[in-house]
Amino acid sequence: MLGFQHTREWIYPQSIDGAFTRLRRWTFVGLHLMLFVAPWITVRGNPAFLIDLPHRRLFLFGQIFTATDTIFLLLFLLFLAFSLFFFTAVFGRIWCGYACPQTVFLESWIRPLELWIEGDRVRRRRRDAQGWTFDRAWRKAVKWSVFLLVAFLLAMAMMSLFAGARPLWTAQAGTTSYAFVAIFTAVWYVDFMWFREQFCNYLCPYARFQSALTDDESLLISYDVPRGEPRGRGKAAAEAGNCISCSKCVVVCPQGIDIRDGFQLECIQCARCIDACQSVMEPLGHETLVRYSSMAVDEGRRLRRIRPRTVVYGGLLTALASAATVLLLARVPFEATVNRAPGSSFVVDADGWVRNTYLLKITNNDAETSSATYGVTLDGLDGAQVVTEPVVLTSTETRTVPIVIRVPADEASTSRSLAFDVRVQSEQGELLLPATFLTDARVGGATGGSR
């Protein structure tokens, strides 16, 4: 954190154990398994999860989404946004304390490594206060080297979600992928070495707008003022509250705040202070003074989990999930576009028929079938002929093929341009692509479509 003179003030959180700390550890284990194992899992021969930016594709548990599936992207982003609103309204900053990558990596890697290499809070503070000695120097060198390795491993794991685990870890990915690995490594290394809790305090926007997402019923960590005050140290037994001013809730806080000062922007609801207070109060025969609560409960009111805000957010989430499910069930697992061949207009053949040439682009997004065959017919052009071959595509394959459409002279003479549909059919379903047939020199074209 930054002090009053805008200088870096290092925080040395004390190690703590307790129910919430153990819960967070197991949560972190699950999140790490998702990060490191998920990129290696395949579904029907394709990655279970992969954001393929060069080809603008998303592989998600057997489904393949492309750049034209904008409706799913919109629904997904809206679902994420309202999930954030809903869980913040109910559980406060539960994301920050239990699932944010910043918290997960710091608590899973950096804090334990510091404890192992440099010792506990007291030893670290004493060494740093003594200046540069040999003992401090070699420990810092080892720690920084290990941090660099951790940053590299995390960067590789994150980049596996974009470049694929097997190509990346076997040195078969492109140079761009490894350039981003270097960038991610540098970012995480600087974060682990210096930035740490300052990201939560000064850069993360979530801490700034959480006040607009929470209300008096939202979960937060609070100090029981009526039971705790006045604090016991230096007070007569009859006057003292249950708080004995041990400051253990302060020294375990990774943000360097005192929860007894009330709700604060820097609090990430990690619950370390709850475990710390409970470890002190239980031997004394008292309940913990720091707990998960809400402003309503602290004021003596009844907690309402079901209220207008949560009902609206929950209803919107249900509607978005239902819409996505319906669209997925109705989705044709391929896409196609048809466009006029560049520089072409129309040609009158020797037999009097008028000919237009188009380019048909088909992408097979079906991960379940090894290959699919696509045929082309026309709607709206009486007597027309289609000159093309059936297109056979394997899963995720894309191909562009020419289509020649011929129309009899008597049909072509009825208008200077004729609107029609190109019907692309396969065992997966069919798509109708609107197009225009030109019979004069005016430049025109057809449009693309997909579902």
pLDDT tens column, 370-413: 788 999 999 988 889 998 889 999 887 889 999 999 988 877 77
The SS3 of residue 217 is: coil
Q: Is 38 buried (19+), middle (13-18) or exposed (0-12) by CB count in 10 A?
A: middle
User: What's the pLDDT score for residue 333?
Assistant: 84
Average pLDDT over residues 71-98: 92
Q: What is the pLDDT of residue 351?
A: 84
pLDDT of residue 60 exceeding 90: no
Inter-axis angle of helices 134-163 and 175-190, nearest 10: 140
Lowest mean pLDDT among 46-50, 162-166, 404-408, 440-444: 440-444
User: In this model, does residue 2 exceed pLDDT 70?
Assistant: no
Beta bridge partners of 448: 337
Q: What is the pLDDT averaged over residues 70-99?
A: 92
Which residue matches tokens 């225009």?
Answer: 436
pLDDT of residue 441: 42
Cα dihedral 113/117/119/122 (nearest 10): -90
**For the segment 418-428, what is each residue's pLDDT rounded down to a tens digit?**
889 999 998 88
Residue 440: the pLDDT is 64
Q: How far apart are the first and last CA of the chain?
A: 51
Q: Which residue has the higher pLDDT, 317 or 205?
A: 317
Give the separation between CA 12 and CA 253, rounded to whole angstroms. Answer: 9
Note the pLDDT of residue 212: 79
Is residue 450 scored above 80 in pLDDT? no
What pLDDT is attached to residue 202?
Answer: 87
Bridge partners for 258 per DSSP: none
CATH code of domain 334-450: 2.60.40.10
CB 430 within 8 A of CB 336: no
Give the start-to-end residue ranges of the domains of the chain.
1-331, 334-450
Q: What are phi and psi of 94, to 5 degrees?
A: -65, -30
- CA 291 to chain CA centroid, Å, is 30
- Higher-confidence residue of 417 and 308: namely 308
Model confidence at 447: pLDDT above 80: no
- Residue 238 has a pLDDT of 61
| pLDDT of 210 over the 80 cut | no
Please state, for a pLDDT cut of 90, what percent of the chain lies above it.
60
How far is 242 from 282, CA to CA, in rounded Å?
Answer: 11
What residue has token string 């040439």?
Answer: 357
Position 444 scores a pLDDT of 34
Beta pairing, strands 290-293 & 57-60: unpaired
Nearest to 354 by CA among 363, 344, 364: 344
Q: Are 264 and 13 in contact (CB under 8 A)?
A: no
Question: Of residues 68 and 36, which shows the higher confidence score?
Answer: 36
Residue 301: what are its φ and ψ, rounded to 5°?
A: -90, 165
3-class secondary structure, 296:
helix
The per-residue pLDDT for range 227-275, each reduced to its tens digit, is: 998 887 655 456 678 999 999 999 999 999 999 998 888 899 999 999 9
User: Do residues 425 and 375 touch, judged by C-beta distance below 8 A?
Assistant: yes
For residue 3, pLDDT beyond 70: no
Burial of residue 343, with CB atoms counted within 10 A of its CB: 0-12 exposed, 13-18 middle, 19 or more buried: exposed
Band (pLDDT 50/70/90 cuts) for residue 1 is low
Whether the per-residue pLDDT at 446 is higher than 50: the answer is no
Lowest mean pLDDT of 123-132, 226-235, 341-350, name the range: 226-235
Contact 391, 408 (CB under 8 A): no
